[in-house]
Amino acid sequence: KKTFFSLKDRIKQAKKITKKNKNIEVIYLDDIIGSSRSIKIIQYVLKNKKLKDLYFIVGSDILFKFHKWHSWKRIVKLVKLVVFSRKGYDRNSKESTVVKYLNKNNITFIKNKPIKISSTTLRKKMIRSN
């Protein structure tokens, strides 16, 4: 149940990966907001970053559980939900509670090529590169 990389390490890696892209800012909001709930983070970002559009990116595997998230209906009203393909989940995910609730509004399905690398393989590569 212990995380593979500490939060400090994950933030450091995210900053390292994105440092050349000036359009990406890596920030950790849980301490500032006092919550790790997605709805709280979304509300904070919308209020403090003065954004017109906010996109919430998930994999198609998440759609089956998304309706169990705290304030999920509020989340999908505040953001544009973007769903990336995950092998083995795409067909059935379109029958999820969230998709039925949204009725094709405010949701975009991305037909990306399946990613054939596991998180375990990524971790091993990151350890070798450090």
- Taking only the tens place, the pLDDT of each residue in 89-129 is 888 888 899 999 998 888 999 988 876 666 667 777 766 76
Q: Give the separation between CA 106 and CA 89, rounded to whole angstroms.
A: 20
pLDDT value of residue 20: 93
What pLDDT is stored for residue 31 in this prediction? 85
Residues 6+ apart with CB under 8 A from 32: 44
Q: What angle do CA 88, 89, 93 make, to 5 degrees?
A: 160
Whether residue 21 is predicted with pLDDT greater than 90 in this model: the reply is yes
CB of 63 closer than 8 Å to CB of 93 = yes
85-99 confidence digits (pLDDT tens):
888 888 888 889 999
53 contacts: CB under 8 Å, gap ≥ 6? 80
Give me the pLDDT at residue 116, please.
65
Q: Cα 96 to chain center, whole Å? A: 18
**66 C-beta neighbours (distance < 10 Å), count:** 21
Please give the mean pLDDT across all residues of the chain. Answer: 86
Query: pTM to 2 decimals?
Result: 0.75
Given a cut of 90, is residue 55 above it in pLDDT?
A: yes
Query: Using an 8 Å Cβ cutoff, are 52 and 81 in contact?
Result: no
Tokens of 120: 């375990």
What is the spatial distance between Cα 38 and Cα 36, in angstroms, rounded to a whole number?
A: 6
